[in-house]
Amino acid sequence: MAHFAKIDENNMVIGVLVIEQGLIDSGMFGEPSSFIQTSYNTYGSVHTLGGTPLRKNYAGVGYAYDSTRDAFIPPKPYSSWVLDEETCLWNAPTPYPDDGKVYSWEEEALSWIEVEFPEE
């Protein structure tokens, strides 16, 4: 069995199935060309188990399939973020701070804002 993303006419992922290629080819679940194999172990163009990455990222509902890049691309989280062509993941215009604190992205300020936790 393998994972397959079902895409609509706009190349948007509308579902992900664990299914045999033969069942897809049978047409029982819809037009076979609307199913594209995806790898559960692929993220950011890296196979987490050391294998060969497949289509840059594991597909999810709402992802786009880009046939030119042969990649599944997650939804863009903020309008200012930029697509990394190598990983097909979105990056903030400024890197996430590397100081061990927790931050959230503030689109209006175009910066990372430290998350304040209440004291116990």
* Residue 42 neighbours by CB under 8 Å, 6+ apart: 48, 53, 54, 55, 56, 57, 58
Q: What is the pLDDT, as a whole number, of residue 120?
A: 76
Question: Is this model's pTM higher than 0.85 or not?
Answer: yes
Query: What is the overall mean pLDDT for the chain?
Result: 96
